[in-house]
A and B are shown apart, each in its own frame.
Chain A
Amino acid sequence: MRREAPQKLSDYGPLLFPAGMLIVFFVIPFATMIAVSFFKRDPAGFYSTAFVFDNYARFLSLFFGKVLGFSLFLAITVAICCVVIAVPFTYLLSRARRRTQVVWLVALLSVLSLSEVIIGFAWSTLFSRTAGITNLLVAIGLMGEPVALNPSFGAVLTAMVYQALPYTVLVLYPALVRLDPTLTEAARTLGASPVKSFFTVVVPALRNTIVATLIMVFIFALGSYLLPQILGRPQHWTLSVLITDQAIYQSNMPFAAAMAVFLVLVTLGLVALTLIAGRKGEAA
């Protein structure tokens, strides 16, 4: 349906409420944070108004560079794992019977209702030596004795994928349901096996959806700060962990704000790069 562009000022009326909410709850806090990132820390109190680049300068070190690199690497790995698992799963789900679909979707929604803390402690129990899944493997004779699987990178990755997977499936689900089922049937009549038709028709036809989902999971994973602390070693801590540490435990608000601003900029840059690459791929 084609609609006329707004003519009068009053035509913009419906935008007022969301615009107001965005200003009060996003623009003002974010602007405050940018301002604070240039303030000077006052070790005796909180911070004092100033305009210095100290916080950003302190950030430009090998240590924080490594943390930033690891944070991005972790978020990208989580995003790729989630999409690789969720696309085939959601495709099969969308082709299943109605009842099966409802059961799965309810189960996924119930995972969403779990808080990050619960997920973290549940996995740390599952990965522990005393009560973990390795005890099961010992019981069925696959392992000699139980071992602790955390803290480790694998434990952090598993829990974060577990946490992000329901979002991934729910974002992919509508697109896969809308995908014309005769497309894969056509591919099969043209000589493609079911697996081949999945990779030559379903995945390319959903390219834009998959890219959008990757970006969404990436940003979601970037903000995770509890799971790396619960399940990882200090070298597995993300920038979000350090920001929390600086803001809450070191009371260094200006430095925390500077790191947060920097993280937002890097994230926006990466998303823009992905979109540009996607557009180029489409034109080719």
Chain B
Amino acid sequence: MSGLALENVTKEFGSFTAVKNVDLTVPHGTFVCLLGPSGCGKTTLMRMIAGLDLPTGGAIKLDGTDITRVPTHKRELGMVFQSLALFPHLSVGENIAYSLRIRGTGKEDQKKRVDELLSMIHLPGYADRPVSKLSGGQRQRVAIARALAISPKLFLLDEPLSALDAKLREAMQVELRQLQQRLGITTIVVTHDQREAMTMADTVVVMNGGEIRQAAAPVEIYRRPADTFVADFIGMTNLIDFTTDSAGRVTVLGTAVEGLAAPGGLARGVLSVRPEDVHLTAPGPGAIAARVTFIRDLGGTIETFVEAGDKQIVAVSMPNARPDVHVGQEVGIRLSPEACVVLKS
């Protein structure tokens, strides 16, 4: 099979399990983001793929060959570290050529490849500069070029953009994604920034507590979260407890949602509703009674906070559909069945 396969990979540090029975297939040429809160095991998982940590159980396979015990320097990969780890005693060009020099590539070929990579990262003519004279964004690019110098089979990035300011980070996300598509290289990025994951990835892998909670396309993760953790972690959401009434209809806050039935006869659970799917109307039968408590007008979007029962619910709308409400007003909430995701509590 072409690509990377993790089979039942586990890593224990003493009595602490950092990564628990992870199964994941990354087909050749895809871009995968490992996403999760800090301490969820995503970095440990990446370090095991790189060979910097050894798994305590399971196997890692690349193109069908078991590489679990292959030492890092024989894995033919490129990795960008969170600290970038550029070699301070080498110039930009020498940093990029390091992997070629180690492999005994000729001086001429090294220079050619360095020039090629420097123009790829839009820094032509920077080969002789010391790395200490570069800006944050430039260092980032040099670290990427250094990792790609040997055209590796696997391109790994550990929180690569976390040191950059917000604007530069957004630009680099787009650039990184375009670069990956142009090169068609199998790429795995560790991040805690969901926006970053949504921008770049073909597949987002959401992790928590050392386990994969969901691995799917970004839109799928957003629209159809697998559990309450994923729903809550990705974007804003309203998680509302529900019960099922005698007719099998899902009932929230005392009001049944028309046309929504709980699958598999679930008696109680949690409903995930994205803020943009919460529509405020006049109070009336069939609508959940609520009261506006706060309005946050951000210009681009308007967030309306309402209280229904003792539950706070957020509705987001665009300026052209600004809800005509004020703080303290009694309103009604209507939930359309296709906007609700039914989850186990």
Contact = CB atoms under 8 A, between A and B. Distances in A.
B85 A185 contact: yes
Contacts of A205: 87-89
Interface stretch (A10-18, A107-115, A186-194): A186-194
Nearest to B81: A182
Contacts of B90: 204
Nearest to A193: B73
Contacts of B149: 190
B296 interface: no
B88 A196 contact: no
Contact of B98 (A182, A185, A190, A194): A190
Interface residues of A, number: 20
Range class of the B interface residue count: 20 to 34
B160 to A, nearest CB: 13
B128 to A, nearest CB: 12
A192 B99 CA distance: 8
Interface in B100-154: 102-103, 146-147, 149-150
B79 interface: yes
A204 B89 contact: yes
A192 B102 contact: yes
B275 interface: no
B50 interface: yes
A182 B85 contact: yes
A191 B150 contact: yes
A60 to B, nearest CB: 43
A106 B102 CA distance: 38
Q: By CB atoms of chain B within 10 A, which of A187, A190, A204 has the most?
A: A190
B72 A188 contact: yes
Q: By CB atoms of chain B within 10 A, which of A186, A193, A200 has the most?
A: A186
A104 to B, nearest CB: 23
Interface string B66-106: 00000111111111011101011110000000110011000
A123 to B, nearest CB: 38
A249 to B, nearest CB: 50
Nearest to B156: A189
A182 B76 CA distance: 18
Contacts of A204: 87, 89-90
Nearest to A205: B89
A207 B81 CA distance: 24
B79 A186 contact: yes
Q: By CB atoms of chain A within 10 A, which of B71, B85, B149 has the most?
A: B85
Contacts of A182: 81-83, 85
A180 interface: yes
A273 interface: no
Interface of B: 50-52, 71-79, 81-83, 85, 87-90, 98-99, 102-103, 146-147, 149-150, 156
Given A196-B73, A204-B87, 6 more contacts: A183-B87, A188-B71, A189-B79, A200-B98, A200-B102, A204-B90
